[in-house]
Structure 1
Amino acid sequence: MRAARCLPSTPLLRSLTTSSRLSFTPARLQCLQKHPSPVQCRTFMRGQRPSSGRAVENINIGRMRNESHDFHVRRRNFLLCGAIAGVIATCYTAYLLSIALRKPKKLDSGLPGKADPFTTDAGSKRKTVLHDAQGREIVPTGNSTVPTFPRLIETGIGAEAGQEEVNGVEYTLVGLGVRTVTFLGFQVYMVGYYIATQDIAALQSRLVKEINPIATTLISSEKDALRQALLDPEQGEKLWNSILQDVRPRSLFRIIPVRDTDFHHLRDGFVRAITARSQGNNAEFGDESFGLAMKDFRSLFNRGKVPKSREMLLCRDSAGRLTVTYDDGKTGMGSIGRVNDERISRLLWLNYLAGKQVASEPARTNIVEGIMEFVERPIGTVATQVI
């Protein structure tokens, strides 16, 4: 008897209708129950048919190659960015360390709020004086391009007969500040006001007598009155005008550009300031000699560029003569001319010291604070003490 051939699996068998099941023989049903897989059963004379439901895995070699390449590219870029960031961080740290090592050490010259043996009140603020690598005393400016100003300057300009002709004149820093232009506050140059050390006593006496005619030094309330007078537009200009005309202390302004400029730009600013202060007073400034002096002053600045960090000195001697010196970076500091009319230097000095509008308000305020340090000490003692 021939064995019956198996039919599809049990689930398929279940889907069959009852009528179709009845057409199967008992032997065929028994075969379906024993072999639930979709393969057919072996018959007596026929071998098993090959299965057509074998699972086949589809592998895309090109896609795998592209994914591997993209992964390695991303990995390389990530490592490269990390290496570059590490090099930049190392270089920046080394730069900061070099700045810190070259930074001058601070000299304890008296701290705000502490008593000072040369002052009359314990709350006087002192200038912070530093020492550079050569041991010179310097004062911080707060500007990154021109970080410090020397506390003392020695020059032969303004020297009088005697020992000064050999050693030169020593000038002491009174105050400093930055000159800005436009409402955006573009910085043009740093300016510092210096007075000949030997002439400070005469300036002290004039300022002290202005507040208290019988005093040799000022107390706190008197200092406040003098500070208010110096900052007042009218009183300050009147007081400084009398000092520059009567006392005539030898002094100078040290100008250091913080950005590249030129002589014509500086000249235009100086000329505008002098012209504005001379207007309205034809009795003093309306003569022909003043016009010739202005012409000579303009001719001093018929030059080219002034790179940043170049030093310029505007010096006023005891006769009021103005001498301009400049360091061109090649031949060193040298004179570029002189104007003998004292009115030119006086008006130029007032442009920084007093009035409603000054060239640099921070400089004027700092100069006034420096003056307060003078008048709080006995007359004649400032020249022998550290400011």
Structure 2
Amino acid sequence: MAAPRRAAMRLLSPRIQYLSRPSTLTTQIRHASSRYSQPTQRTVTTFPGLAGGGESNIHNPLDSRAIRIEHEETKQYHLRRMRFAGMGLLLTMGAMAMVLFSLDLDSIEQAEKKRRGVQLDASNDSNMTFQGKEVQVIGTGDSKRIVATGRGEQIELVETGTSSVPHFPRTIYLPSSSSASSISPSSTDVVGTAQPGWSANPLNVGGQEEYTLVGLGIRTVFWVQVYVVGMYVRSSDITTLQSKLVKQVNPAASALIPSEKDDLREKLLHPEHSREVWGELLQVPGIKTAFRISPTRGTDFGHLRDGFVSGINQRTAEARSLTSSGETEFDSADFGASIQSLKAIFTGGKAQRGSVLILHRDEEGTMDVLYQPLPGEQGKDQEMERLGSVADERVSRLLWFGYLAGKNVSSKATRDGVVDGVMEFVGRPVGSGETMVH
């Protein structure tokens, strides 16, 4: 009996010794006086795996829930890092693209030539010439006039606010007919310079009509200037335009007083009322108008086409939002065919900086697209080309709305310039003479 008992005691002795050791889970308690007098010397010994201990928590390798949570946290962390890195890459690429697009290569080339001592060409003096004619400033202040003189002709100019295309003519001359026969391929028909009866324009004597500038502005994409655009109205239609604008506010007046002009301005800048005002002004048969567009940098007709079509799509979307059924006159198949005709006009070809594109709308709403390249050698004017026409008046109406009416116009500066010009029109009695345009 003694031998088994001794063997059992030997087996139990290590466990008894382990249990007799001081527990590591207990807290060392000091005397009350040292506990409060010297708190910095207090030590607490805890098991390292317990929460709140002085060391990081150790997950149980057999706890599947803890493993899933830790895996998900790690996954989300790396996903956030990837998103931030991707956003940074996209922003960097976008910033580089905008910087490259906004570079004025012509100015850089001119600056490099100047640094090397190379003689600069005449394009560096664009502020002093207009279509090969010398620009002169006459007078100062409110009486200042800017004119371009050359080859027996004098053209009055208006400043645009950009050095790329510094001037627009106050009046231009356009063919009186929308038919293709009105412009001869062999003529010297020139937008903004050729006048009826001018000696250098023998094939179109009396075949052109005068248009007066209403207002202009610069179209920008972000901060990049794209082109200068100005709205013109046939000079003989100014009286009709004045009358319709005045009657929008006061049917019995012949001119608007300041408070009435403010009411009209508010209408012309309102997202919905502006569509009503310009919709009435563009009714057919009606007045003849035109937009003169001059790129501030080299571009192509494809970019111009995309901008025009985008503006039309925005206007059609606005029209649908204003109807209860969502159906408009722009949802028909024939309107889609007219848009395709517009796209077909702008296929291929370059539009140089300072060249001229004319969108001309006649009294029936037919739109002619005319183009004049830059002057050739020795400042000789280039022929005006007819690129094509669109007979559907809805196309030209929506293009006009794109600059003049609706919530988000293509060029806020152009709309503001046109509205300022309109205020000059309605401030004078209906049927009065030439209106000053600012």
What's the TM-score once normalised by structure 1's chain length? Answer: 0.66
Residues 1:174 and 2:214 aligned together: yes
Output the CA distance in 2 between the equivalents of 1:346 and 1:133: 36
Deviations 1:313-340 (A, max 9, x none): 0000000001001113475211010000
**1:338 aligned residue (389, 396, 401):** 389
1:376 is matched with which residue?
A: 427
1:282 is matched with which residue?
A: 327
Output the CA distance in 2 between the equivalents of 1:229 and 1:324: 30
**1:130 aligned residue (143, 146, 157):** 146
2:137 is matched with which residue?
A: 105
Deviations 1:31-58 (A, max 9, x none): xxxxxxxxxxxxxxxxxxxxxxxxxxxx
* Distance apart, 1:97 and its partner CA: 11
Distance 1:260 1:88, change over 3 A: closer
Deviations 1:290-330 (A, max 9, x none): 01101101000012221111111000000000100111347
2:280 is matched with which residue?
A: 242
1:291 is matched with which residue?
A: 336
Aligned runs of 1:135-174 on 2, under 5 Å?
A: 135-158=154-177, 166-174=206-214
* Distance apart, 1:106 and its partner CA: 3.2
Q: SS of 1:133's equivalent? A: strand
Distance 1:300 1:97, change over 3 A: closer
Distance 1:356 1:317, change over 3 A: same
Q: Which amino acid is 1:356 matched to?
A: K
Output the CA distance in 2 between the equivalents of 1:266 and 1:177: 17
* Distance apart, 1:278 and its partner CA: 1.4
**1:262 aligned residue (296, 300, 304):** 300
Q: Does the aligned pair in 1 maintain the 2:135–2:147 contact within 8 Å?
A: no
Q: Does the aligned pair in 1 maintain the 2:126–2:166 contact within 8 Å?
A: no
Q: SS of 2:293's equivalent? A: strand
Q: Which amino acid is 2:415 matched to?
A: R
Q: List, as ranges, runs of 4+ consecutive aligned residues in structure 1 with deviation greater than 3 Å.
A: 95-103, 106-111, 157-161, 328-331
Output the CA distance in 2 between the equivalents of 1:165 and 1:273: 37
Q: Percent identity?
A: 41
Distance 1:159 1:170, change over 3 A: farther
1:52 is matched with which residue?
A: none
Q: Which amino acid is 1:141 matched to?
A: T
Q: Does the aligned pair in 2 maintain the 1:176–1:192 contact within 8 Å?
A: yes
2:265 is matched with which residue?
A: 227
Output the CA distance in 2 between the equivalents of 1:144 and 1:357: 26
Structure 1 gaps of 5+ residues are 1-86, 112-127
1:64 is matched with which residue?
A: none
Output the CA distance in 2 between the equivalents of 1:237 and 1:295: 24
Output the CA distance in 2 between the equivalents of 1:212 and 1:98: 45
Moved more, 273-282 or 139-148: 273-282
Output the CA distance in 2 between the equivalents of 1:99 and 1:379: 36
Output the CA distance in 1 between the equivalents of 2:231 and 2:355: 17
Output the CA distance in 2 between the equivalents of 1:247 and 1:296: 22
Distance 1:188 1:103, change over 3 A: same
Output the CA distance in 2 between the equivalents of 1:218 and 1:368: 14
Q: Does the aligned pair in 2 maintain the 1:157–1:315 contact within 8 Å?
A: no
Q: Which amino acid is 1:342 matched to?
A: E
Q: Does the aligned pair in 1 maintain the 2:424–2:436 contact within 8 Å?
A: no
Output the CA distance in 1 between the equivalents of 2:275 and 2:205: 33
Q: Which has the larger radius of gyration?
A: 1
2:410 is matched with which residue?
A: 359
Q: Does the aligned pair in 2 maintain the 1:159–1:169 contact within 8 Å?
A: no
Q: SS of 1:198's equivalent? A: helix
Deviations 1:242-267 (A, max 9, x none): 21125631010000001111111110
Q: SS of 2:308's equivalent? A: helix
Distance 1:99 1:371, change over 3 A: closer
Q: Which amino acid is 2:170 matched to?
A: R
Output the CA distance in 2 between the equivalents of 1:150 and 1:295: 32
Output the CA distance in 2 between the equivalents of 1:310 and 1:288: 34
* Distance apart, 1:149 and its partner CA: 0.3
